[in-house]
């Protein structure tokens, strides 16, 4: 398939990092194949999977070569999600870039809808659709439908819910901020901060349901602790920002809320510290934590 790549149909680059998702990667790739938007290039990178993911992908190679204007499949030792996305970004030539986890999928009109929005809104650095929630069997169990325009303040204070599976970003802006950070485990939030920091541009979420986000069994406490630690490291890059203290309180309130669900003793210790922080009383997560602490046993 030849590339059109003009103002009416710019080239869109898509990258699927794959790691041990033999059950899901076929559906993920096929959802890109099924896009109504035609001018797409795709790179699939196996990030050192130890299961049969590579075998599953190999069965789709010919179909991908026929469908996409440009296609590549790479496999190599594990390097992590951020390094894999950066590899895809370097390979890409499109005006717009989307990453897709190999256990998620996108709806057929996702690319059409998001390209149209970015074309009409030049100050929008990235646009996101809303998402269906699916279980391990691919059955839809619910949805998260949001809409809004978000700047750095919104992202920094965790007021912006921007679903990564339904994303599309301006590739040149990703390159300007140096790509994805390989030192963090939450590369998406870190990227939203970099894109919106110190400029008048914004991210936008549309109410259109454009992707399927797979919910696996509930996160372990270890994963929740890790997420908090990573977020704290990231906000410390912005210690000179006037919002830094408020952002630290937001994270503390979120930790208190999560601890209140099942680790009551630690939650009480966190609550003692928050009692003396006036900003905590402005946060919904603080009051959610109080409710969980008292009523959820």
55 Cβ partners below 8 Å, 6+ apart? 22
6 lies in some domain: no
Q: Which domain holds residue 137?
A: 12-214
User: Model pTM?
Assistant: 0.92
Domain boundary (173, 194, 214) is at 214
Please say whether the beta carbons of 147 and 207 come within 8 A.
yes
Render each residue's pLDDT in the chain as its tens digit; 297 residues.
Answer: 656 656 789 999 999 999 999 999 999 999 999 999 999 999 999 999 999 999 999 999 999 999 999 999 999 999 999 999 999 999 999 999 999 999 999 999 999 999 999 999 999 999 999 999 999 999 999 999 999 999 999 999 999 999 999 999 999 999 999 999 999 989 999 999 999 998 889 999 999 999 999 987 654 566 888 899 999 999 999 999 999 999 999 999 999 999 999 899 999 999 999 999 999 999 999 999 999 999 876
How many structural domains is the chain composed of?
A: 2
Determine how many CB atoms are found less than 10 A away from the CB of residue 290: 16
Are residues 157 and 127 both part of a single domain?
yes
- Grouping H, G, I as helix, E, B as strand and the rest as coil, residue 65 is helix
What's the number of CA atoms in the CB half-sphere (13 Å) around residue 263?
15
7 lies in some domain: no
Closest to 94 measured CA to CA, from 191, 6, 27, 208: 6
2 lies in some domain: no
Separation of alpha carbons 147 and 207, rounded Å: 5
Are residues 174 and 260 both part of a single domain?
no
48 Cβ partners below 8 Å, 6+ apart? 19, 75, 76, 77, 78, 79
């Amino acid at each position: 398939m030849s590339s059109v790549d003009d103002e009416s149909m710019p080239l869109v680059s898509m990258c699927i990092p794959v790691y041990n998702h033999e059950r899901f990667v076929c559906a993920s790739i096929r959802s890109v194949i099924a896009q109504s938007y035609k001018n797409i290039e795709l790179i699939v990178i196996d990030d050192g999977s130890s299961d049969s993911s590579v075998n599953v992908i190999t069965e789709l190679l010919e179909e991908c070569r026929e469908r996409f204007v440009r296609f590549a499949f790479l496999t190599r030792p594990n390097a992590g999600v951020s390094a894999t996305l950066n590899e895809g970004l370097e390979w890409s030539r499109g005006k717009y870039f989307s990453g897709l986890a190999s256990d998620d999928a996108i709806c057929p009109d996702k690319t059409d809808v998001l390209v149209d929005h970015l074309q009409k809104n030049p100050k929008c650095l990235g646009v996101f659709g809303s998402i269906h929630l699916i279980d391990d069997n691919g059955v839809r169990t619910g949805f998260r439908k949001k809409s809004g325009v978000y700047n750095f303040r919104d992202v920094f204070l965790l007021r912006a819910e921007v679903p990564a599976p339904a994303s599309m970003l301006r590739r040149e802006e990703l390159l300007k901020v140096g790509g994805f950070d390989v030192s963090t485990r939450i590369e998406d939030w870190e990227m939203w901060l970099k894109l919106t920091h110190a400029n008048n541009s914004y991210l936008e979420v549309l109410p259109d349901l454009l992707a399927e986000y797979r919910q696996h069994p509930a996160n372990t406490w270890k994963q929740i602790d890790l997420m908090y630690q990573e977020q704290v490291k990231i906000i410390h890059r912005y210690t000179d920002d006037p919002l830094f203290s408020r952002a630290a309180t937001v994270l503390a309130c979120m930790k208190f809320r999560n601890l209140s669900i099942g680790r009551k003793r630690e939650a009480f210790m966190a609550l003692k510290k928050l009692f003396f922080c006036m900003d905590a009383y402005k946060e919904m997560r603080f009051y959610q934590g109080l409710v969980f602490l008292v009523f959820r046993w």
